Amino acid sequence: MLGLEREEVKLIPYDENWKKEFEKEKIYLQKVLKDIAILIEHVGSTSIEGLSAKPILDIAVGVVDKETLYKTIDIMSRHGYQVKNSIEDRDEVLAIKGNGTNHTHYIHIMVASGDRCKNQILFRDYLRKHKETVKEYESLKKELAKIYKDERLNYTAGKNNFILSVLEEAKKEENF
């Protein structure tokens, strides 16, 4: 089952159905974005086998350039997503699936060649290869979820230093 209330932080054990839900959404996004999306990847904790996560799918969608990024705002809005234009401060368009209070999917639309997009995939791939790091990450997430059960922004901020250190290690490993 997917979805959480807007500010709620609730982790559930890894669910194999998350892969299937991603594949369904990927097919839909390919239809909606046609030739605009040059990359559609399952990212975030739900993409890491064995990792407890908030039951919200994170999907990275890569586009060719910033001009195309702006075009996705209208397209995603027309298809029922709540759209947040964060291009100027985060280099992304965030399209949220679900009703006003229960979010099920976060579609992060970014320039595929940009650091933001590359880092999401790099982080995911590193965790998929390093099970000990997954255990550390899960432990941190569970600790933060207890402290910030109704404060998603603080929960997310609490993971920042860990994520940055993992990205640093991943870049070294990949000679990035």
CA angle 54, 103, 81 (to 5 degrees): 140
> For residue 28, what are its two tokens?
């839909």
At 153 the pLDDT is 92
Contacts of 47 (CB under 8 A, 6+ apart): 18, 22, 41, 58, 124
Is 90 exceeded by the pLDDT of residue 6? no
The encoded tokens of residue 110 equal: 């970014």
Task: For residue range 113-128, list pLDDT tens digits in order.
Answer: 999 999 999 999 999 9
* Residue 39, pLDDT score: 97
User: 118 is in which domain, residue-wise?
Assistant: 4-174
pLDDT for res 67: 94
This prediction's pTM: 0.93
The DSSP-derived string for 82-138 is EEEEEHHHHSEEEEEEE-SSEEEEEEEEEETTSHHHHHHHHHHHHHHH-HHHHHHHH
Query: Residue 167 — very low, low, confident or very high, per pLDDT cuts 50/70/90?
Result: very high
CATH number, domain at 50? 3.30.460.10
**Is the pLDDT confidence value at 16 over 80?**
yes
Backbone angles phi and psi of 137, in degrees to 5: -65, -45
How many domains does the structure of the chain reveal? Answer: 1
